[in-house]
Amino acid sequence: MTDRLEALLERFSATARLFHAGALCGINDLAPELGAGQLHLVRGGAVEVINGGEAAVHIDTPSLLLYPRPLAHRFITDAERGADLACANLHFEGGAANPIANALPAFVCVGLDQIDGAQPILALLFEEAFDRRCGRHALINRLFEVVLIQVLRHLMESGRTRVGMLAGLSHPQLRHALVAIHESAERDWTLDALAARAGMSRSVFANAFRDSVGCTPGIYLQQWRVGLAQQSLLDGRPLKTIAMDVGYGSEAALSRAFKASTGLSPRAWKTQALREHLPAAATAD
């Protein structure tokens, strides 16, 4: 079976960094780091979660709380007993351009017992998080990253993602076309070729793709290529080489697609991205 996540995670990985393990008591405001999401694991205790101006979410069973993009939130627990949590910041490669982070809802809450196969990993993660062994941070960070992959699987397999890239990857036929794009963005993909990968007629494929993913196959291909180009720009590669690698025949063609997707030229986007995410001394080429 086609691996729906492999190409995504190879191109756009995510890293986790533990910042809290233990009891949270009373009112705690959790402001994310610049450009980072957060992943919280509630081992025990009742937690009232307030996300911005949204209605409070009440949690009284062990749960996973995922914020793929920066979103200020408040946890309210009993002032004395509190609740036991392990919390990590999430940094998605590519930042705001990361397709995984963009495909997820702003807030995801899942009971830990609903995530198939996660129990051994969660047990080890909690054991390390609430103990003081050497090397615990490095190990816990890797375990958080494993849990993130497991919750992505869960969201796709349970139908929790209704529209967007992950919804398309959940579709039994569309997934083949999406994986083909992810694995070989440089190919000259036509609607007929993608429909053939999905085993569907041209018209049925086009309609199903738009309904599930939320855009046309051509727009999706363009956005995926631009996302890859953004990564390469930040790695310092020349635009001409990037254009060939992602399926555009010239710098001009890539620049047009880039501006159509981001509203900026590649150079302007890179300058802005470096200013926002790298030290002040860093500048564009």
How is the chain split into domains, by residue range?
6-157, 166-277
Q: Do the domains spanning 6-157 and 166-277 agree at the CATH topology level?
A: no
> What is the pLDDT, as a whole number, of residue 282?
36
Closest Cα partner for 19 from 28, 30, 11, 35?
30
66 φ, ψ (degrees, to nearest 5): -115, 130
**Block means of pLDDT (10 residues each) for the chain, length 285 residues?**
80 92 94 88 97 89 96 95 96 82 92 94 95 90 96 87 88 95 95 98 97 96 94 92 94 95 94 68 35
CATH number of 6-157: 2.60.120
Helical ranges in the chain per DSSP H: 6-11, 99-103, 119-129, 136-157, 165-170, 174-183, 191-198, 202-213, 217-234, 239-245, 251-262, 266-277
CATH match of 166-277 with 1.10.10.60? yes
Helix-helix angle 202-213:174-183, to 10 degrees: 80
Nearest to 1 by CA among 159, 170, 115: 170
3-state secondary structure 150-169: HHHHHHHHCCCCCCCHHHHH
Distances (CA, A) of 263 to 13, 236, 269: 25, 21, 9
Q: Identify the pLDDT of residue 103.
A: 87
User: Quick one: pLDDT at residue 273?
Assistant: 84
